[in-house]
Amino acid sequence: MTTSLRIALIPGDGIGKEVLPPATAVLDAVGRRHGLTFGYDEFDWSCERYAHTGAMMPDDGLDRIRQHDAILLGAVGWPGVPDHVSLWGLLIPIRREFSQYVNLRPITVFDGVRSPLSAARPGDTEGGVDLVIVRENSEGEYSEMGGRFGRGTDGEFAVQEAVFTRRGVGRIADFAFDLASRRRNRLVSATKSNGIVHTMPFWDEVVTERAAAFAGVQWRSEHIDALAAKLVLDPSSFDVVLASNLFGDVLSDLAAAVAGSIGIAPSGNLDPTGTHPSMFEPVHGSAPDIAGRGIANPLGAIWSAGLLLEHLGYPEAGAEVLAAIRSALLEVRTGDLGGTAGTDEMTAAVLKRIDA
Ligand code: ATP
Ligand code: MG
């Protein structure tokens, strides 16, 4: 029996357009082994489109991708187009409309990839780092509430409200604990209840309540400052890290840097209920400095496709993608990893291992 899945492709700008074809090639190859066929609909939503039409996507854009099983995005952003245009013109509308309240960032240090830590602590970190950051993606510190007051006076001040809801914290905690229970049963929740005296104690309280349903998971709260230090000093001690919107944003870039290259890091914006399509994208941006040269590392996009498979209920297929990446990296490396291979060569190395 074959299952057919419809994927909305948004290549975007710069190397986004170069790394999506490798990702779909890998989906097709791994799909053949698992009775899955993929149908792709491509959308040119991008800063390039914005430059021509004044909009990142058409007015009915969200409706055009609502029925798809998932969304695969390359990267959006281009010099001269302010970040808030791609953010508010595309990424945030998609996240909000489709209730993608989980941002998922798996981080692994692969053998053969030099982490910035390996120079300081040779042999200590490679192979051992395998963690997932679960970032709350819909509320918290990133809110539009607040304002500037007394403009131009000596007493001028700015206020920014963070909003945490029982529903919002509860559902992200449930997701993170469930994930930990399917991994190594360990979880650390980022807090700062010693300095942020209303929202963070509330976060801790709701997380503690939800933890009760996952008795098998060993967990603790840790202040964000100490946690950040430990992620650098001892990254292999972590399994699942649960964090609010702001803390998760910072920690995921920190952890991706620890892993060695932004070119490998994948991410998922998930609606875990499956009501709406989830969106998968490499962590890197459009990389204008290397765009158009065929040298972008496609692994971040390929691994994102692996997360897509896992999310849609094909964990073995997702694991095959990751295993192929792991094995390919032993032999072939792109420029960002100190190697000389181009996008095509790296892609071929992954495909060869999937077809083997
Ligand atoms: P954005 O604002 O869209 O996040 P950015 O400029 O902050 O973009 P990137 O576009 O990710 O960040 O680029 C950061 C650096 O990493 C650049 O030098 C870029 O060439 C490099 N880089 C990013 N992604 C890759 C990749 N897939 N392969 C190789 N190098 C990459
Ligand atoms: Mg940037």
Q: What domains lie within the chain, and their CATH numbers? A: 1-100+268-356 (3.40.718.10), 130-258 (3.40.718.10)
> Residue 124: is its pLDDT beyond 90?
no
Instruction: pLDDT band for 118, please (50, 70, 90 cuts).
Output: low
For residue 93, give Cα distances in angstroms to 99, 114, 298.
10, 37, 26
Q: Which residue has 């699942």 as its token pair?
A: 240
60 is catalytic: no
CA of 301 to the centre of ligand 2 (A): 17
- Tens digit of pLDDT for each residue in 259-297? 877 899 999 999 999 999 999 999 999 999 999 999 999
Biggest alpha carbon distance in the chain? Answer: 71
CA 75/CA 19 separation, integer angstroms: 9
Predicted local distance difference test score (pLDDT) of residue 259: 82
Atom of ligand 1 nearest to the CA of 289: 20
- Spatial contact of 258 and 233, defined as CB atoms under 8 Å apart: no
CA of 275 to the centre of ligand 1 (A): 32
The ligand minimizing its distance to the Cα of 284 is: 1
Across 107-120, average pLDDT: 76
192 is catalytic: yes
Question: Residues with beta carbon inside 6 Å of ligand 1?
Answer: 15, 75, 77, 262-263, 284-287, 289-290, 296-297, 300, 334, 336
Q: Which of 15, 47, 83, 284 to mutate to test the pocket of ligand 1 (most atoms within 8 A of CB)?
A: 284
CA 79/CA 74 separation, integer angstroms: 16
ipTM of the complex, rounded to two decimals = 0.94
CA of 166 to the centre of ligand 1 (A): 36
Q: Where are the alpha helices (DSSP H) in the chain?
A: 16-34, 47-53, 61-65, 83-86, 92-97, 116-120, 166-181, 199-211, 224-233, 245-259, 299-311, 315-329, 343-355
Predicted local distance difference test score (pLDDT) of residue 264: 94
> Residue 215: is its pLDDT beyond 70?
yes
- Tens digit of pLDDT for each residue in 57-112? 999 999 999 999 999 999 999 999 999 999 999 999 999 999 999 999 999 988 88
Helix (H), strand (E) at residue 42 = strand 36-42
> Residue 315: is its pLDDT beyond 90?
yes
- 147 — phi, psi (to 5°)? 175, 180
Question: Which residue in 105, 78, 106, 104 sits closest to 90, CA to CA?
Answer: 78
Three-class SS state of 5? strand
Q: What is the DSSP string of 158-197?
A: EEE--B--HHHHHHHHHHHHHHHHTTTSEEEEEE-TTT-T
